[in-house]
Structures are given as structure tokens and as C-alpha cells.
Structure 1
């Protein structure tokens, strides 16, 4: 998925200086962002006060939207470097195409994982024959320096491991959770788990104390460590936890995101994650010149041009504003 802002903000993030070693309860405010022709997403990360959770550096939540008789998601071809994209659905379908020649329809609770590495282009759209409701999240994972120039790749995993307990069920999207490990390729210690709670469930799920965590609520209302959250909310939890107490008010679902705090300082601009402004500017120029990223075939429309770079230099410093 793309950041379609025609004047994207340069995000300076990474480093461990501002990571709390103790648990916190910080509600992150979303902002509405148009995506393509007919989809509006709630952007929760990066936010004004929080830039990363482990290696997770971008979180959009969308829907549930009634797209009967509508085109649904329509995101033209666009480039990425230095990251992985995670497509995660609770409703509907997304058709992925990329410059490697991948063509894959991703459905609910299936993992669509694209490793951009040194450079890839892709498009995402609702198929012509699509379900009535579209609901999901798009997430990015920053690649560490030693792997950020790796060869691009796309993975699709339709059968993911699950963990069940009293009143909850979890699908392991990425990394490891409670002993279960996702088949998706990872490059840093990380976890992404989709958790479903039954009405009235009161449980405590296990965490790694060295990880920092956040919860993205997808449906229903959930009390997360004493904070009651509505759908489309995100709660940053910090580090130092061995378990997370939860209570569901009706059937509810959320995505647990976590990982070892990301040590490197990054520059994020438009659809690129790099280390310097010069690197970002080069990738932008190459995309607009039709170089480096290859061609996405089959999408009915032109690719997105990279917007103008900001007037001020792009620098990497800090993970919060």
C-alpha cells in the first residue's frame, strides 16, 4: 500500500534513546488519509508522538467499508525500498501485483508479505468481483541496515499457525507468539498476532519483556490493561511487560504488534525507508525516470509519480517528535 499524500512529511525515526523501559499506556490518535479513488484509511503510525513499535513503522486501518457497487481499493503502481509490507484483512479481498510478476489475491487471515529490499513496485486493488465489505490493515516493517538492500520478494501464506486459550484465539501473522512461529520471513525480532476475544473473556496473553508493544483494535470494544478501546484505536504499551491483561465487551478483535526496539535511525518519506536524504532523493528520481523498480503489468491505469521532495533536507534523528 502507498502513502498517497501529494506533500508527504519526512519522518525521522529509529534509535532507542526514547524507548521507555517501563510499561506505558499511550493512546495514539489517528488521522484520516485518502487512499486511491474511494478508500479512506486511519493512519495510526507514524503519529505525532510515536514513530515506531519495534521494527513496525507504518500502520493504516481501513473499514469496515460497504463497497458493493463501488470499485473499492484502487492503489496504482508505486515503489518501495528498505521495508516489508504486510497486508492483513478481516473482510474482502486485495489483488496484489508487483514488478517481479507476482499476481495474488489476498483474503481474510492470509498473509501477503512483500520484501522491498533494494527496490520493488506494486499495485493493490479490490478485484472486479469482490465482497461487499472491505476491512483490514496495512503495515510496514523497517529492514535493518544489513538486509535493506536484499533482493525483493513476495510471499503469500494462506495457512498460518494459531494459538488458543481460555476465551481467545490468536493467528500468528509475523514472528513468534506464545511458541508459535509464522512462516513469513523476518529480519529482526518481531511479532504480529491477530487476536480474537469472545464476549466477556478476561485473559492475559504472554509478552516478551524486552519487546515494546502496541495494540491495534479491529472490531468490538476491548479493555487493554485498563484502557477501553473502540475499533480503529491504537494503544502503545512500551516495554517491560510479561503479560497483557485483556477484557472483551462483546466479541472483539485486535492486532498485537511488537518487537525489539529498532536501534537504527531512519528517514521515511513517501513510500521509501532509508538512512539519508540523498538516498531517498535518488530513489525518487529513479522511480520518476522509470529506472530501478521494474514494471507492474496488468493494472488498468498509470503509475503514481513521486511527489516533489520537501525544501528542507531530509535527516534521520529520533523516533518521536
Structure 2
């Protein structure tokens, strides 16, 4: 998925100095952003006050939307560098195309993982004939410096590890949780898990003490570590926990995200994650007139043009604003 803002903000993040070195509770509502002509999303990262959770640097939560008589998601071809995209659906279908020649329909419970590395382009759209409801999340993982120029790749995983307890079912989407590891390629220690809580659930979920964590409420009313988290909101939890208490009366669905605090400082602009303003400017120019990103074949429409660069220099700074 793309950042389709015509005037995207420069986001600078990374480094340990602004990572909460203890458990905290910071609640962030989603900011509504239009994605294409027919889809609105709740942007949860980056947001004012919080830019990263581990290596997770971008979160859009969309739906549930009734698209029975609508075109649904329509994101034209656009470029990426320096990151991985994680596509996760609760309802509906998304057709992924990329400049490697990948053509894959992603369905609920399946992991669509694209590693941009040095350069890739892709599009995402609801198939012409599609289910009536669209609901999911699109996330980015920043690649550490040692791996951010790897060859681009796309992975589609249908079988993911599932942990089942009496009141919670956890699907490990990325990284590891409670000894279960996702088959998705990860370049830094992290966790991404889909949690389904049954009615009247009161559970304690084991988590990594050295990770920073956050929870995104996808649906239902949930209390996380004693804090009510409304649907569509993110609760940042800091570090220093060995377990996380989750409670709900009517049932709910969450995403648990976390990882080792990202040590490097990065620059995010539009659909690029780099280390310097010069690198971002070069990637933009390559998309405008070069061959670095390749061509996405089969999408019925023009590709996205890159917005103008901001007048101010692009500089890496800390993790929070």
C-alpha cells in the first residue's frame, strides 16, 4: 500500500534515545486519510508523538467497509525502497502486482510480504469481482542498514503458526511469539500477531521483555493492561514487560506489534525509507525518469507520480516528535 498524500510530510525517526525504557501507556487515535478514490484509512504510524514501534514504521487500518457496489481498493503502481510491506486482511481480497512479475490475490489469514530492498514497484486493488466487505491492515517494517539494499522479493504465505488457548487465538504474522515463528522473512527481531479474543476473555499473553510493544484494536471493545482501547486506536506500551493482560466482554480482535527498539536513524518520505535526504531525492528522481524500479504490468491505469520534495532539508532525527 502507498502513502498517497500529495504533500507528504517528512518523518524522521529511529535511535534509542526516545524509546520508553519502561512500561508506559500512550493512546493514539487513528488519523483519517483518503487512499485513492474510494478508500479511507486510519493512519496510526507515523503519528504525532510516536513514529516507530521496533522496526514497524507505518500502519494503516482500513474498514470494515461495504464495497459491494464500489470498486474497493485501487492503489496504482508506486515505488518503495528500504522497507518491507506487510499485507494482512480480516475480510475481502486484494490483488497484488509488482515489478518482479508477481501476481497474487491475498485473502484473510494469508501473509503478503514484499521486501522492497534496493527498489521495487507494486500496485494493489480489489479484484473486479470481490467480496462485499473489505477490512485489514497494511504495515511497513524498516530494513536495517545491513539489509536495506537486498534484492527485492515477494512472499505469499498461506500457512502461518496459530497458538490457541481457551480464550485467545493468536496467529503469528511476522517474527516470533511464545516460541512460534512466522515463515515470513524478517531482518530484525520483531513480532506481529493477530489476536482474536473470545467473549469474557481475561488472558495474560507472554511478551519479550526487551521489545517495545503496541496494540492496535481492529474491532470490538478491549482493555489492554487496564487501559480501554477503542476500535481503530493504537496503544503504545513501551518496554519492560514479560506479559500483557487483555480483557474483553463481547469479544475483540487486535494486532500485537513489537520489536527491539530500532537503533538507526532513518528518513521517511512518501513511499521511501532512507538514511539521508539525498538518498530520498535520488529515489524520487529514479522513479520519475529511471529504470531502477521496473514496470508493473497489468494494472488498468497510470502509475502514481511522485509529489514535489519539501523545501526544507530532509534530516534524520529522533523517534518521537
Fold equivalence (TM over 0.5):
yes
Cα distance in 2 for partners of 1:231, 1:45 equals: 15
Any conservation in 2 of the 1:195–1:254 contact (CA below 8 Å)? yes
Residues paired across the two proteins, number:
321
Conserved 8 A contact 1:15-1:262: yes
Shift of 1:166: 2.3
Report the Cα distance in structure 1 between the residues aligned to 2:159 and 2:69, rounded to whole angstroms: 30
Distance, in Å, in 2 between the alignment partners of 1:26 and 1:170 is: 23
Deviations 1:92-144 (A, max 9, x none): 00000000000000000100000000000000000001000000000000000
Q: Paired residue for 1:61?
A: 61
Summarize the alignment of residues 212-223 of structure 1 with structure 2, pairs less than 5 Å apart: 212-223=212-223
C-alpha RMSD of matched pairs (Å): 0.6
- The question of 1:31 aligning with 2:45 is answered no
The yes-or-no answer on 1:192 pairing with 2:200 is: no
Specify the alignment match of 2:234 in structure 1. Answer: 234
Once residues 319 and 60 of structure 2 are traced to their aligned partners in structure 1, the CA distance between those partners, rounded to angstroms, is 18
Query: Equivalent residue for 1:9?
Result: 9
Stretch deviating more after TM superposition (38-47 or 20-29): 20-29
User: C-alpha separation between the residues in 1 aligned to 2:41 and 2:212?
Assistant: 24
2:82–2:117 Cα contact (<8 Å) kept: yes
How far apart, CA to CA, are the structure 1 residues paired with 2:88 and 2:283? 27
Distance in structure 1 (CA, Å) of the matches to 2:269 and 2:191: 24
What is the match of residue 282 of structure 1?
282
SS in 2 for 1:250: coil
Partner of 2:103: 103
Cα distance in 1, alignment partners of residues 95 and 31 from structure 2: 25
Q: 1:231 and 1:317 mapped to 2: Cα distance?
A: 31
The structural deviation recorded for 1:251 is 1.7
Q: SS at the partner of 1:249?
A: coil
Task: Describe the superposition over 1:231-286 as per-residue Cα deviations: whole angstroms up to 9, x where unpaired.
Answer: 11110000000000010121210000000000000000000000000000000011
Matched with 2:206 is 206
Question: Gaps (5+ residues) in structure 1?
Answer: none
Q: Is the 8 A contact 1:177 1:191 kept in 2?
A: yes
- Mapping 1:1-321, distance limit 5 Å: 1-321=1-321
Tell me by how many angstroms 1:164 deviates: 1.1
SS at match of 2:139: strand
CA distance in 2, matches of 1:192, 1:309: 32
What do residues 3-27 of structure 1 show as CA deviations (whole Å, max 9, x unaligned)?
0000000000000001111100100
- Consecutive unaligned residues of structure 2, counting only runs of 5 or more, are none
TM-score (norm 2): 0.99
- Residues 220 and 249 of structure 1 are in contact (CA less than 8 Å); yes or no, is this contact kept in structure 2? no
Please tell me whether the aligned partners of residues 29 and 232 of structure 2 are also in contact (alpha carbons under 8 angstroms): no
Scaled by the length of structure 1, the TM-score of the pair is 0.99
Contact 1:199-1:248 within 8 A present in 2 as well: yes
1:29–1:47 contact (8 Å) kept in structure 2: no
Return the alpha-carbon distance in structure 2 between the equivalents of residues 50 and 320 of structure 1. 5
Q: Take 1:2 and 1:265, find their aligned partners in 2: how far apart are those partners?
A: 22
| Aligned equivalents of 1:106, 1:117: Cα separation in 2 | 21
